[in-house]
Amino acid sequence: MKKVILATKNKGKAIEFKEIFSQIGMEIVSLLDISESIPDIEETGETFEENARIKAEAIADRFELPVLSDDSGLEIDALNGRPGVYSARYAGLDKNDHKNVEKVLKELNGIETEKRTARFVCVLAFARPGIDTVMKRGICEGSIGKERKGEHGFGYDPIFYPKGYDRTLAQLLPEEKNKISHRRHAIDQMIDWLETEGKME
């Protein structure tokens, strides 16, 4: 397999997948690369797994091809795990990163550093027509800062300090983020699966 379709319209995710998969000689084609217009898929699930499955299976059915998807988000302990699966739509259906970050900072206002622990979660689903979908989960532990820092990345990166770092994900270079991210951990597991059990199916 040389090319794989990624069922995402998120530019930041697509860039990270392309970068990570290029290292093993695979090309990622996202929905942003396809000229045909594809209606937004409603993420009706209550878990990352459910939403990842919905997205991958919808696109695999449509193209009758193997498809990967990524459902991800930020779980903040002081907010009982919010925004979680609602991370993209946290401040509204327009899925605006700036407003989402603003809302989180506001909700955490007054909460001390030690109590700002959080983690990014990424669930990948690999769907193929007529075969059970495979899922892998990756996590990146860290904490939420008190203001935005850095210009790289996307989403909540400017306020997320990975554990052991004094820079946010948005201050790390893309290649640094891609070594430690939730997405990287999930992708590594999926590649392991593809290279072992995936070959036997």
Ligand X SMILES: O=c1nc[nH]c2c1ncn2[C@H]1C[C@H](O)[C@@H](COP(=O)(O)OP(=O)(O)OP(=O)(O)O)O1
Question: ω into residue 158 within 30 of 0, thus cis?
Answer: no
Q: Residue from 26, 32, 154, 198 that binds ligand X (CB under 6 A)?
A: 154
Kindly report the number of other CB atoms within 10 A of residue 93's CB atom.
Answer: 7
Among 80, 89, 82, 77, CA closest to 116: 77
77 is catalytic: no
Q: In this complex, which beta carbon is closest to Mg ion, that of residue 101 or of residue 194?
A: 101
| Packing angle of the helix pair 11-22, 182-195 (nearest 10 deg) | 50
Residue 200 Cβ vs ligand X, minimum distance, rounded to whole Å: 29
For 105, which DSSP code? H
Q: In this complex, which beta carbon is closest to Mg ion, that of residue 56 or of residue 194?
A: 56
CA distance 71 to 84: 10
Task: Single out the segment in contact with ligand X by CB under 6 A; choices: 8-16, 131-139, 141-149, 191-199.
Answer: 8-16
Residue 182 assigned as binding residue: yes
Three-state SS at 127? strand
Residue 133 Cβ vs Mg ion, minimum distance, rounded to whole Å: 17
10 makes contact with ligand X (CB under 6 A): yes
Q: Residue from 17, 21, 156, 161 that binds ligand X (CB under 6 A)?
A: 156
CA angle 45, 35, 7 (to 5 degrees): 25
CA distance 1 to 49: 24
Tell me the backbone φ, ψ of residue 119, rounded to 5 degrees: -150, 145
Ranges within 55-114 binding ligand X (CB under 6 A): 55, 70-74, 87-88, 95, 100
Q: Pick from ligand X, Mg ion, none: which does 9 bind, CB < 5 to 8 A by kind?
A: ligand X
143 makes contact with ligand X (CB under 6 A): no
Q: Which residues are annotated as a binding site for substrate?
A: 8-13, 72, 154-157, 177, 182-183
Binding site for ligand X (CB under 6 A): 8-10, 13, 43, 55, 70-74, 87-88, 95, 100, 120, 153-157, 169, 181, 183
